[in-house]
Amino acid sequence: MEQTQNKNNEIDIRRVLRLVLQKWYWFLIGLVVMVLLGVCYLVRTTPKVTTQASIMLRQRDESLGTGQLDQLSMLGIGGNKTAEDELVVLSSKDLMLQVIEQLDIMDSYWIKREHRWQGEYPEHSFKLECLRLTEDARHSSFTIDINPTRSGYEVKGKLGFMEKGSVEVKNFTQPIDLPYIGQIRLTAQKEIKRDARYRIQHRTVENAIAYYSGLTHITQHKHESNIFDLSIHSTMPARDADLLRSLINGYNQNALTDKNMIASNTADFINSRLEIISDELSQAEDAVERYKTANNMANMGEEAKLLLEMGAEDQKQLAEIETQLSLVNYIADFLRDAKNQHSLLPANISVEDEALAAFIAEYNETLLRYMRLQRTASEGSPVLDQLNADLRNMRTNIETSIANVREGLKISKAGLEMRQQELMQRIQLVPKQEREYIQLARQRQLKESLYMLLYKKREENALMLAATATPTKTIDVPRIDPETRSPKPMVIILLCLLMGLALPALVLYIYVLLDNKIRDPKEFERQLKAPFLGQIVANSRGKHIAIHEGEATVSAELFRLLRTNLKFVVPSDVKSPVVLISSCINGEGKSYVATNVALSLAILGKRVALVGLDIRKPMLAHYFSLPKQGCLTSYLAEDGYTVDDVIVPSGEHKNLDIIPCGVIPPNPSELLQSERLDQLFALLRERYDYIIVDTAPCALVSDTFLLDRIADMTLFVSRANYTPTEMIDYINQLAEQKRMKNLCCVLNGVKNTNAGYGYGYGQKH
């Protein structure tokens, strides 16, 4: 079983190879056509190249220490969500529009010399000015082609797919009215070449943003990485490099502006507090001065100085606590003010609590991201909603942290004040004037400490405001990668070669798949379950008689071979065998085969009778050009006719007689079942060595099955390139069911090239 399957597979492979060899010119044509198309594509296509750049985001707040960042991560505030948000900002439409306007690339300019369109950047031959556009042109992109002519220039406008128009102009000094587009002005900016063509692609703002955003690819180098890769793959690398460079600079400039908003807000906060503290400090100094003048206190007593020195350290700590409480209260008041709901919190004002400082920095950074995304994202964006929720949670955390810090400062202040009270009890022992002076001096010292701290922070904030450090670090400046050039000639040619082979193979496969005709004699023989006696080449001479005595054509030799094979399948104990020749459907050449098989036997010296029992469509009388149409049907229907009345000499060979059908009867089935038919064949067996019977097609009528009782074998004729392949199953079914005696097959109409080795050498058929 396995060996049989392997044999079938081998035959299938051979059949495929044979079919490929027969259609070799398909593959040659496919290769030539596809290679020519590939060359044309390479000649006419403008090469594209990739321009690449890489940047890295700096730390969100470099003022925070490593320990502070670790604390934020423990609180769930850390992570690298910033990079994902900044990716959205870097890809924003507002930033792209800013770059487009800066580079003036809203319109694209092209020049075509020889076969390729090439972009003109940064200089271009024309400048387009839209004076008065139509309603459709204002909201859609359009293209303008400029073709130099003998008398001037032809200006063509194209809006969409259908709206096209053109005008002839002598020069570009006057505005041009283009159909469907409107009035424009073209200004030549350099020498116009007469052998070139020019094209301008005008885009609306929305289309330009969409076009350049689609060209620009921005991705994270790795997951959760602070490094971004920017690339553009197009035909204008110089423009792409400027676009990426401007995109990075614009992002840095916008980010610096956002960053400076914190410093500006903090400066306003410090200045307002300095005005208040300055007034309070002036009042405290005036009070000390007035007290000393009024009481004529040039010098304090030694004991008062000693007490002041003893409480100096405690007084300093108390001043610092008072300062921290004031700063914390300032921030708390700022938070409670409804108008500051979406304002940046003052930062870098020496809040000593690290957690609170980290919360403020994180809040300001998140608020900046919210403000940037609010300019680009649509209303109701889930990203905005999430950031808004984060901001509310952070404000709650800051308020809680402020309360905790305030409580801790109050506890520390209470301890220091207790120590101050003990000191004051000792001060009570000094004179009243000095005691009152100590109290005034302490208030002045407190105000002076707070003033100096705010003044110092104002200077630090001014330095930060003047800083120009960019939020990103450029790792790779925009560069052209020559390895990314496309299309690659070798790849295109190789692809064309593969397609040149694949397309004919696909067509051939579909051709074979859809073809339901018998083509290959060997495949036909392999699928048959009945003996295969041979094949007959197609009759190219147009004559029904293909074999003559002494003739050695391919057709004659194949009929002789069929005659020889026929002798092996005819039962040896049968004298004067009756051979039915039939087919599945009409037009397969059964009458042609029957005629020439009979002639081949007659040439061999056998007495042969050719009986036409295809009484529904008789053709033998026509093929042999018999003057009388015969009277076989009359013989079967009436008793008055004898055997000699139905036999007619063929005129082709003396050993061959014809028994033509005669008149087509109304009851063919009944005639074929009559006893006179059996009597006729009994008489014919006595007179002839072979009786060849031309019968009706089996798959159409049942006439042939009615003749099985008189037959010794049946020769089934199929026709190459005509008989459907499903008829093979029908023949196999007849053979398996043994509905016809000694069923054998022959294939007619085979091409001479498929007829086997050796036939037709030096001959014509």
Instruction: Map out the domains of the chain as residue ranges.
Output: 1-45+487-515, 94-251, 259-465, 521-754
Indicate the average pLDDT of the chain: 81
Task: Determine the straight-line distance between the first and last CA of the chain, rounded to whole angstroms.
Answer: 41
Exposure letters 238-258 (e unless 16+ CB within 10 A, then b): ebbbbbbbbbbbbbbebbeeb
What lies within 8 Å, CB to CB, of 97 at 6+ separation is: 205, 208, 209
Question: For residues 243 and 224, what is the distance between their CA atoms, to the nearest angstrom?
Answer: 26
The better pLDDT of the pair 162, 408 is held by: 408
Question: For residues 226 and 568, what is the distance between their CA atoms, to the nearest angstrom?
Answer: 89
Instruction: Give the mean model confidence (pLDDT) for residues 546-566.
Output: 86
**Is residue 263's pLDDT more than 80?**
no
Question: For residues 690 and 610, what is the distance between their CA atoms, to the nearest angstrom?
Answer: 9
Q: Which two tokens stand for residue 282?
A: 């002036």
Report the alpha-carbon angle 282-283-289, nearest 5: 90
- CA torsion 275-278-279-285 (nearest 10°) is 180
User: DSSP assignment of 224-260, as one string?
Assistant: T-SEEEEEEEES-HHHHHHHHHHHHHHHHHHHHHHHH
DSSP 107: S
Tell me if 718 sits within 8 A of 747, measured CB to CB.
yes
Task: Give the range among 374-383, 490-499, 535-544 with minimum mean pLDDT.
Answer: 374-383
Tell me if 602 sits within 8 A of 655, measured CB to CB.
yes
pTM above 0.75, yes or no: no
pLDDT-based confidence at residue 278 (cuts at 50, 70, 90): confident
Q: Which two tokens stand for residue 182?
A: 């409107």
Question: For residues 411 and 417, what is the distance between their CA atoms, to the nearest angstrom?
Answer: 10
The better pLDDT of the pair 377, 74 is held by: 377
Tell me if 203 sits within 8 A of 186, measured CB to CB.
no
Highest mean pLDDT among 365-374, 393-402, 737-746: 737-746
If we measure between CA atoms, which residue out of 378, 325, 313 comes closest to residue 92? 378
Instruction: Give the mean model confidence (pLDDT) for residues 354-379.
Output: 77
Q: Which two tokens stand for residue 540?
A: 């190219």
Instruction: Give the mean model confidence (pLDDT) for residues 292-311.
Output: 58
Instruction: Give the mean model confidence (pLDDT) for residues 340-351.
Output: 71
* pLDDT of 469: 59
Q: Are strands 108-113 and 197-202 parallel, antiparallel or unpaired?
A: antiparallel
* pLDDT of 73: 37
- CA torsion 708-712-717-723 (nearest 10°) is 40
The 3-state secondary structure of 657-707 reads EEECCCCCCCCHHHHHCCHHHHHHHHHHHHHCCEEEEECCCCCCCCHHHHC
Task: Give the range among 298-312, 409-423, 705-719 with minimum mean pLDDT.
Answer: 298-312
* pLDDT of 128: 93
Q: What is the pLDDT of residues 629-687, one digit of tens each?
A: 668 888 888 888 888 888 988 888 899 999 988 888 888 888 888 889 999 999 999 99
Around Cβ 764, how many Cβ atoms within 10 Å? 11
**Is residue 184's pLDDT more than 80?**
yes
Q: Sign of torsion, CA 399 402 407 410?
A: negative
Half-sphere exposure of 77 (CA within 13 A, CB side): 23
**Is residue 534's pLDDT more than 50?**
yes
* pLDDT of 76: 36
Question: For residues 294 and 631, what is the distance between their CA atoms, to the nearest angstrom?
Answer: 166
Q: Residue 297: exposed, middle, or buried by beta-carbon count in 10 A (0-12, 13-18, 19+)?
A: middle
If we measure between CA atoms, which residue out of 538, 545, 553 comes closest to residue 759? 553
Q: CATH topology for 521-754?
A: Rossmann fold (3.40.50)
* pLDDT of 206: 92
Q: Which two tokens stand for residue 98?
A: 């800013």
* pLDDT of 412: 82
Q: Are strands 532-537 and 743-750 parallel, antiparallel or unpaired?
A: parallel
**Checking phi first, is residue 518 left (phi over 0); if not, alpha (psi -120 to 50) or beta?**
beta
* pLDDT of 416: 75
Question: For residues 336 and 584, what is the distance between their CA atoms, to the nearest angstrom?
Answer: 101
* pLDDT of 60: 46
**Is residue 595's pLDDT more than 70?**
yes
Q: Residue 170: exposed, middle, or buried by beta-carbon count in 10 A (0-12, 13-18, 19+)?
A: exposed
What lies within 8 Å, CB to CB, of 462 at 6+ separation is: 267
The better pLDDT of the pair 465, 226 is held by: 226
pLDDT-based confidence at residue 762 (cuts at 50, 70, 90): very low
CA of 403: how far to CAs of 328, 342, 358, 410, 595, in Å?
9, 21, 16, 10, 119
Q: Which two tokens stand for residue 197?
A: 């063509």
Q: Which two tokens stand for residue 334?
A: 């700022």
**Is residue 310's pLDDT more than 90?**
no
Q: Sign of torsion, CA 94 95 96 102?
A: positive
* pLDDT of 683: 92
User: DSSP assignment of 468-511, as one string?
Assistant: ---SEEEEEEEEEEEEEEES-HHHHHHHHHHHHHHHHHHHHHHH
pLDDT-based confidence at residue 295 (cuts at 50, 70, 90): low
* pLDDT of 628: 64
Radius of gyration of the chain (CA): 54
pLDDT-based confidence at residue 74 (cuts at 50, 70, 90): very low
**Is residue 2's pLDDT more than 70?**
no
Tell me if 609 sits within 8 A of 647, measured CB to CB.
yes
Q: What is the pLDDT of residues 716-758, one digit of tens each?
A: 999 998 899 889 999 999 989 888 889 999 999 888 755 544 4
Instruction: Give the mean model confidence (pLDDT) for residues 230-257.
Output: 90
Half-sphere exposure of 676 (CA within 13 A, CB side): 16
Distance of CA 33 to the CA centre of its chain: 26
Question: For residues 366 and 388, what is the distance between their CA atoms, to the nearest angstrom?
Answer: 9
**Is residue 221's pLDDT more than 70?**
yes
Q: Which two tokens stand for residue 100?
A: 């487009």
* pLDDT of 348: 64
Q: What is the pLDDT of residues 88-139, one digit of tens each?
A: 888 888 899 999 999 999 999 999 988 889 999 999 999 999 999 999 899 9
